[in-house]
Amino acid sequence: MDDAAVPEEQVAGIPVEFGASAVLLDVREDDEWQRGHAPGAQHIPMGDVPARMGEIDPEKPLYVICHAGGRSLRVSQYLQRNGYEPVNVNGGMLAWAGAGRPVITDGGSPGTV
């Protein structure tokens, strides 16, 4: 059975703010997240997603991001098979930072990708 294609979006086409209205799910590993992430993003490492799916709000638009787009695509496919309607962020955090979007650390200082 072929999976339906997961929608993909360029960074320019996704919201700037996340939390109340939309979810940006960052599936990178802990060390990557600690170096820097998008403000308001929700962090669940790729390997933890199956066990922690209940933490992802199914009512909000869902964007999935990783470093370059590969892991987020796999997670998006998994979430799609489980009833979510994810959008993979094309180019990942590399594209996010490249577009001049903010990257912060948990402490709120500027981060790196």
Annotated catalytic residue 12? no
Report the side by side order of strands in the sheet with 62-65: 8-9, 86-89, 62-65, 23-26, 42-43
The first and second tokens of residue 67, run together, are: 């470093």
* Helix, strand or coil, per DSSP, at residue 21: coil
User: Out of 66, 79, 89, 95, which one is annotated catalytic?
Assistant: 66
Q: How far apart are CA 104 and CA 8, in angstroms?
A: 24
Q: How many residues comprise the chain?
A: 113
Q: How far apart are CA 51 and CA 35, in angstroms?
A: 24
Q: Tell me the catalytic residues.
A: 66
